[in-house]
Chains A and B, each alone.
Chain A
């Protein structure tokens, strides 16, 4: 099968939110020896297309999440391949993102995660209910440029402070830009915990991440 055909099928899988097909076609691409960087670029173009349609109001949240899941199913295959050759994909920056301990609100955090991915960031999404220690481990493992934390509940917002304090204690606070968001967070709260930035919306969070990266 031609390179073009495989890439088209892969993009189609993303646009149809079909994770299984996406994984199948990305493996096929690797088997056929297509440059993983080229495949990654095509995947990014597909997710960008979904992101644009979402932004215009033609697609909805379930579509965005479906496409992102299909992309997430494909990316590890390519990363594995890149590792073998010692190459690194280009990205706007590396982000570690998660919802803090005691809070399982996933949707806002996932929207930010998906939009960052679509914008060209390398995103390590830790999920929800993440303890301060686990954020610290992830910061050491992924060496990100940005740490993004979400908290929807007022009762869990204080966890963001715990993470920032843990970073200071570990001596890594200055290495990472911290951005916070979620329903319970306000600009003054973000300021009080010493975050580098805050935005109440997912598209705004992406703009903030780009600003923090100087992009």
Chain B
């Protein structure tokens, strides 16, 4: 099992007990009085049979508080997700934090920072780099590029999952749409590796049929599932953090109830993916501090519910390139997410929104993740670490600690050693060609791509099965008219 970062410090809390109660009471009020629109007949019937009030004409479901509380109790507070190589299993929940990638639709060239469609090699190399990096433990949906050259857009999710399964044993999250989740579940089974499914709200307070269909498929397959939204404050949620928290909570609890009805004890994750709205261009305001305020509130409330949480917000920045803005926006959000107790944090490699991903950013992010991971692990205070006898033996100058066994045993455990950061002295830096952290991360990337191999590759029969499932998916989309003639021709020349 991957250890991740075990938080050994009290979580940052910004709400009082009374404020938590107010937000929870308001959530229950929205669930019962306003209700959630769920555009899925089977779900409506099931919810009605289990005590919800359902207006079938308007597909509006009202959830009684008792059912909500009961279903929240049924969610496991922590759970294992199994890789085909058990050393990469995750134990999600409680005070453990895992880092995850954040995807981006397109690749960027670092000489001009203009987005373009990724090549197949870039996509597969991206997965290899993440498999090799020490401080990232799992992969986000659509990772890295939502698809790549010669892949029809409708095949993006299955092709990305296949790349993840082939080049990594780290656990993948997986999206849905156009029934692709069926193929993804089959690929996961064929690879003997669990994936984490998804079901996303359409804020405010709505679920479309595709999202609920995905929920049924993942939950009935016995896989864990993440519920998220993607709300923007002032657009698809109230402009206030408190109001947005209430609608977000209601949006996430509704499918959670459904999942626990379908299969009690289903492993669920509540995802925080909410942003203030940029009131100039209408886009989510990636990288703004409102994100951190919301994530601190969210993490505190869901810790009370004892449901594991994923913070996706530290992943994207508003910057279009690897620069100072990108660094400070992502790091500020990561600090808050980690300190306030997120169990999964999407972070590595994301640049602007979900629109671009870069392997060098992922390598730099790995240092930041390691630093903050080290921070939340806190310190050990006991006789050995206080080292009273050693202090007494060493005494004042000329005594020092560099030559002690205690230093040799402890310094690496106490410090985090950055890999890509420039930690050279001025003379060293001048002599070695004035390399920046971006240059150093490039060296790391080249080294990884030259040497790293996945710990347990798919067996030939697993490879064959994955290929077969991908072909079934292509044939299905071709016959449904979702792959054009032009796209079909580009597949056949692969």
Which of B150-158, B425-433, B435-443 lies at the binding interface? B150-158
B282 contacts A202, C-beta separation under 8 Å:
yes
Taking the nearest CB of chain B, how far is it from the CB of A170, in angstroms? Answer: 14
Given contacts A104-B202, A104-B206, is CB(A61)–CB(B280) below 8 Å?
yes
Bound-state Cα–Cα, A155 to B283, Å: 18
Q: Which residues in B have their C-beta under 8 angstroms from that of A156?
A: 177
Given contacts A154-B153, A183-B353, is CB(A60)–CB(B279) below 8 Å?
yes
B178 contacts A155, C-beta separation under 8 Å:
yes
Q: Which residues in B have their C-beta under 8 angstroms from that of A201?
A: 281
Smallest Cβ-Cβ distance to A200: which chain B residue? B355
Bound-state Cα–Cα, A173 to B203, Å: 33
Tell me if A85 is interfacial: C-beta within 8 Å of chain B: no
Q: Which residues in A have their C-beta under 8 angstroms from that of B277?
A: 61, 107
| B211-237, CB < 8 A from A | 232, 234-236
Chain A interface SS verdict (over half): helix
Tell me if B169 is interfacial: C-beta within 8 Å of chain A: no
The 7 closest A-B pairs by CB, nearest first: A155-B177, A60-B279, A104-B202, A107-B282, A61-B279, A158-B154, A154-B146
Tell me if A197 is interfacial: C-beta within 8 Å of chain B: no
| B229-270, CB < 8 A from A | 232, 234-236
Residues of A within 8 A of B (CB): 57, 60-62, 102-104, 106-108, 111, 129, 153-158, 161-162, 165, 183-184, 186, 188-189, 192-193, 201-202
Q: Which residues in A have their C-beta under 8 angstroms from that of B147?
A: 154
8 extra A-B contacts, CB within 8 A, seeds A62-B279, A154-B142: A57-B280, A62-B234, A106-B236, A158-B153, A161-B481, A162-B481, A183-B353, A189-B153
Q: Which residues in A have their C-beta under 8 angstroms from that of B156?
A: 154
B210 contacts A102, C-beta separation under 8 Å:
yes
Q: Which residues in A have their C-beta under 8 angstroms from that of B206?
A: 104
Bound-state Cα–Cα, A201 to B279, Å: 14
Tell me if B486 is interfacial: C-beta within 8 Å of chain A: yes
Bound-state Cα–Cα, A129 to B208, Å: 9
Tell me if B12 is interfacial: C-beta within 8 Å of chain A: no
A202 contacts B117, C-beta separation under 8 Å:
no
Q: Which residues in B have their C-beta under 8 angstroms from that of A106?
A: 235-236
Smallest Cβ-Cβ distance to A109: which chain B residue? B282
Contact pick for B117, options A61, A104, A184, A186, CB 8 Å: A186
A-B contact pairs, 17 of them (CB 8 A): A57-B280, A60-B279, A61-B281, A62-B234, A102-B208, A104-B202, A104-B208, A106-B235, A106-B236, A108-B283, A154-B156, A155-B177, A158-B178, A161-B484, A183-B355, A192-B486, A193-B484
Taking the nearest CB of chain A, how far is it from the CB of B106, in angstroms? Answer: 7
A107 contacts B235, C-beta separation under 8 Å:
yes
Taking the nearest CB of chain A, how far is it from the CB of B278, in angstroms? Answer: 8
Bound-state Cα–Cα, A154 to B152, Å: 11
Bound-state Cα–Cα, A23 to B408, Å: 79
Q: Which residue of A57, A158, A162, A165 has the most chain B CB atoms within 10 A of its CB atom?
A: A158
B177 contacts A102, C-beta separation under 8 Å:
yes
Smallest Cβ-Cβ distance to B234: which chain A residue? A62
